[in-house]
Chain A
Amino acid sequence: MCLGIPGRITAITDPGRLMAMAEVSGVRREVNVACIAGNHLDDLVGQWALIHVGFAMSLIDEDEAEKTLQALKDLGEAQETLEQMALGQEALQ
């Protein structure tokens, strides 16, 4: 129950009903922002959120995203290092 995708909030369209415009790869759809609205709706503009069935359900934490990507990068580099070490060992034998 899970089809949610990241979208960027581009404008507040109906503050009374907590509706905003979100954009996903150039496709636009009005979404409800009740779940992510803080004290000032306008602060949402420019932020990324997880969109599911027309609702922005969670703000995407860019720092956490960066951390996850970094962990992937580190793993990739660690793997490479291990491979190079293995090759180095072989060369010595």
Chain B
Amino acid sequence: MNAASPISMRRALRDTHVTMAHGGGGRAMRDLIDEVFTSVFQPPGSEDQARLMTEALQVPGARLAFTTDSFVVTPLEFPGGDIGKLAVCGTVNDLAVGGAKPLWLSAAFVIEEGCEIALLKRIVATMADEAAKAGVRIVTGDTKVVERGKGDGVFITTAGIGVIPPGMDICAVKIRPGDVAIVNGVLGDHGATILAARGDLALSTDLQSDCAGLGHLMQAALAAAPGITAARDCTRGGLASALNEMAAEAGLSIELEETKLPLRTEVVGVCEILGLDPLYLANEGRLVLFCPPDQAEAALAAMRTLPEGEGACIIGRAKAGEAGRVTLRTAFGGARIVDMLVGEQLPRIC
């Protein structure tokens, strides 16, 4: 980890763009780290490692939850967020859907030579903001610089630690036939926003990414509906991919109702123009959880009290049947399979 310099040694950064020198381990690197990262994240202590304790870990039966994710996105800044927001929320959410209370994150940056320092500062500010909202601290990190052409501006890797309280064990294998599937809001906003923001398809919309931390949402849902059996966040590959994985792990089938899927009109528009299926579009602030039907109302009510859960609704249910099969009942009463994605979903004209 790049430790913070003592205050007496900090100097103002005059560069506007990152150079190879900033990755060299010397003074230039110290200056970059101080000004851009540690002055904002304010990690505890100044050693290479964060030294942490929480009482929650000492409770008998409590477990550590540990996850990591890397983040690459073009463009780096998009309506509704930036790569930093993705990096914090993504890892917070991976912890939250396991029933863990997220506590600490690490953040490692691989920066391309020539990256604008003002951009880095904006990304870091977003990360600090999201961390505060989620109630987590960014306690350690790293920076490296690669030559121009060898990185897409910035790549960020975050790892996260949380605590799973005793008795909490939600996982896909626990899903039972009859459990209802609940999502916390409209689907596909992030994927559609990125497609439009990429510019090469020349679509303009007012869409924003749905990127959001879901830690508080999960805690609220679990408190109101302790019978929740499983939860997963729907990132790349969309809702369909998350459900296919869960169905396979649970050895069950999942049936969705087309009329119940919440979708923004503009997302439907983007999908119609490009020939895409919104079920496979990426989300960054959406989860799907399974809970016994008699606790569904309680879960929904709790979720709807939070902005990230305003649109919470039931979209389907688990049932006994072909293991790993996800089906959709169409508005006509027909049925079709919602399969695992093969490769990426590409726009089509046919």
Direct contact of A and B (CB under 8 A): yes
* Contact status B350-A28, CB under 8 Å: no
Distance between Cα atoms of A5 and B206 in the complex (Å):
20
Chain B residue at smallest Cβ distance from A52: B349
Quick check: A25 and B268 within 8 Å, CB to CB? yes
User: Are B349 and A24 in contact, CB atoms less than 8 angstroms apart?
Assistant: no
Give the interface size bracket for B toward A. 10 to 19
**Chain B residues whose C-beta falls within 8 Å of the C-beta of A25 in the assembled complex:** 265-266, 268-269, 272
B305: interface (CB < 8 Å)? no
Contacts of A27 on B, CB cut-off 8 Å? 196, 203-205, 266, 269-270, 273
Asked if B205 contacts A5 (CB within 8 A), the reply is no
Distance to closest chain A CB from B167 (angstroms)? 46
Instruction: Indicate if the CB atoms of A5 and B203 lie closer than 8 Å.
Output: no
The answer on a CB contact under 8 Å between B273 and A26 is no
- Judged by a CB distance under 8 angstroms, whether B52 is at the interface is no
Contact of A3 with B206 in the complex, beta carbons under 8 Å: no
Q: Does B348 contact A (CB under 8 A)?
A: yes
Interface residues of B in 257-293 (CB under 8 A from A): 265-266, 268-270, 272-273, 275
| Interface 1/0 per residue, A25-55 and B, CB below 8 Å | 1111110000000000000000000011110
Q: Which of A2, A24, A54 interacts with B272 by CB under 8 Å?
A: A24
Q: Is the interface of B mostly helix, strand, loop or mixed?
A: mixed
Q: Which of B203, B268, B273 has the most CB of A within 10 A?
A: B273
**What's the least CB distance linking A87 to chain B, in Å?**
22
Cα distance, A2 to B99, chains bound together (Å): 46
Residues of B within 8 A of A29 (CB): 201-204, 273
**Within residues 1 to 39 of chain A, which ones have a CB less than 8 A from any CB in chain B?**
1-3, 5, 24-30
User: Nearest residue in B to A7 (C-beta to C-beta)?
Assistant: B273
Q: Pick 9 A–B contacts, CB within 8 A, sort by A.
A: A1-B350, A3-B348, A5-B272, A24-B273, A25-B268, A26-B205, A26-B266, A27-B196, A30-B202
Report A's interface with B, CB cutoff 8 A: 1-3, 5, 24-30, 51-54
Minimum-distance CB pairs A-B, first 7: A25-B269, A27-B269, A26-B266, A24-B269, A25-B265, A28-B204, A3-B275
Residues of B with Cβ closer than 8 Å to A?
196, 201-206, 265-266, 268-270, 272-273, 275, 348-350
Beyond A1-B349, A24-B273, A26-B206, 16 additional pairs, beta carbon < 8 A: A5-B272, A25-B268, A25-B269, A25-B272, A26-B205, A26-B265, A26-B269, A27-B204, A27-B266, A27-B269, A27-B270, A28-B203, A28-B205, A29-B201, A29-B204, A54-B202
